[in-house]
Structure 1
Amino acid sequence: MARRTKAEAEGTRTAILDAAEVLFFQQGVSRTTLEKIAVAANVTRGAIYWHFQNKADLFNAMLDRVRLPYQHLLDEIDKNPTADPFEQVRNLMIDSLSLIASSEQHHRVLTIVFHRCEYIDELNPAVTKQDDLDTLAVAVLQRAFERAEQAGTLRDGLCPRLAGLALHMYVGGIISKFLLKPQQCDLRQHAGAMIDTMLVGLKK
């Protein structure tokens, strides 16, 4: 009975997250209430508060479903300090763009983050956590480019932190534009060429 109850609770939590994801995508975050999410998930508001403290907590849990795989990809760079840093960074960025292009969930959630979310006080904890991930990404890229500098493969005179920040912002721009108009390009097909266009300016 305990296992069944745990499984049912997890099923309810997933249903709430799925409903929130769809409604945030369709209506925007600020116009989506917990009541609307409860109706869409076919649960009570009490069930939502059983699993989540508030809308910001729910929003953050929804983000984690796509954020955690990216954190894993970042961790792999630091775990392999002897690998070619440019190859590591290239694979990270291509894998990230390809995932957004091929996964409806990643496409939907990142559309919410980039284009359906007002950064209001209610969501401050979730926004702060997203900012933390951005900071982590730049730091990981900086460390990779520091290794490239030591290996003599980073362009002369280029600051590793600036290289990491520039690449992070460049890819963020690609993602933002693609989410608005995915028909502009086949991201799965052209992700490699887009990343190489940037890396060629960073590599010696």
Structure 2
Amino acid sequence: MARRTKAEAESTRTAILDAAEVLFFQHGVSRTTLEKIAVAANVTRGAIYWHFQNKADLFNAMLERVRLPFQHLLDAVDSDPSADPFTQVRDLMVNGLSLIASSEQHQRVLTIVFHRCEYIDELNPAVHKQDELDEQAVAVMQRAFERAAVAGTLRDGVSPRLAAMSLHMYVGGIISHFLLKPQQCDLSQHTPALIDTFLLGLKK
């Protein structure tokens, strides 16, 4: 009985997250109330508060479902400091963009983050968590470019921090534009060329 209850609780949590994801995508975060999420998930508001403290907690849990694959990609860069850093960074970015191109859920959640999320006080904890992941991504790439500088393959006059920040902003722009106008760029096809073009300017 306990096992079935645990499974039912997980099923309810998943239903709430699925409903929130769809409503946040359709209507924006600030216009989506917990009451609307409860109706869409066919649960009570009490059920939502059983699993989540507030909307920010729910929003962050929604993000966590798509953060994990990106976390694994970041960990792979740091796990082998002897590998060619430019190859590592290229794989990180190509695999990350390819994941977005192939996953409707990632596209939906990232559209919420980029274009449907008003950065209001209510969501500060969740937004702070996303900022932490962004800074971690920059730090991982910076360490890779530091190894490139030591190996003599980073372009003269470009600091590892600048290289990492520039690539992060470049890819962020690609994602934002793709989410708004996917018909203008076949991300699954053009991702390698987009990344290679940028990295070419960072190589000595």
Task: Give me the TM-score of the superposition, normalised by structure 1.
Answer: 0.99
- 1:2-43, Cα deviation, whole Å (9 max, x unpaired): 111111100000000000000000000000000000000000
CA distance in 1, matches of 2:61, 2:72: 17
Residue 131 (structure 1) aligns with: 131
Where structure 2 has 5 or more consecutive residues not aligned to the other structure, the ranges are none
What is the match of residue 164 of structure 1? 164
Give the Cα–Cα distance (whole angstroms) in 2 for the partners of residues 148 and 134 of structure 1: 21
Partner of 2:191: 191
Give unpaired runs (5+ residues) of structure 1: none
Q: How much has 1:126 moved relative to structure 2?
A: 0.2
SS at match of 1:177: helix
Shift of 1:68: 1.6
Distance in 2 separating the partners of 1:49 and 1:34? 9
Residues in 2 aligned to 1:103 and 1:20: alpha-carbon distance in whole angstroms: 18
Q: Map 1:9-48; keep pairs closer than 5 Å.
A: 9-48=9-48
Distance 2:81 2:4 in 1: 44
Q: How far has the Cα of 1:156 moved from its partner?
A: 1.3
- For 1:63, the aligned partner's letter is L
- RMSD in angstroms over aligned alpha carbons? 0.5
| C-alpha distance in 1 between matches for 2:45 and 2:15 | 13
Identity of matched residues, %: 83
SS in 1 for 2:201: helix
Instruction: Supply the distance in 2 between the matched residues of 1:157 and 1:35 (Cα, whole angstroms).
Output: 55
In the aligned structure 2, how far is the partner of 1:75 from the partner of 1:138? Answer: 13
Question: Could you tell me how far apart the structure 1 residues matched to 2:44 and 2:131 are?
Answer: 32
Q: Give the residue type in structure 2 aligned to 1:85.
A: P
The 4+ residue runs of structure 1 with deviation greater than 3 A are none
Q: In the alignment, which residue of structure 2 is the partner of 1:5?
A: 5
2:43 match: secondary structure: coil
1:158, distance to aligned residue in structure 2 (A)? 1.1
d(CA) in 2 for partners of 1:79, 1:185: 32
How many residues were matched structurally? 204
TM-score for the superposition, normalised by structure 2: 0.99
CA deviations 1:63-83 (Å, max 9, x no partner) are: 001112111110111111111
Q: Secondary structure at the match of 1:171?
A: helix
Deviation of 1:98 after TM superposition, in Å, equals: 0.8
Residue of structure 2 equivalent to 1:155: 155
Aligned to 2:188, the other structure's residue is in SS state: helix
Counterpart position of 1:116: 116
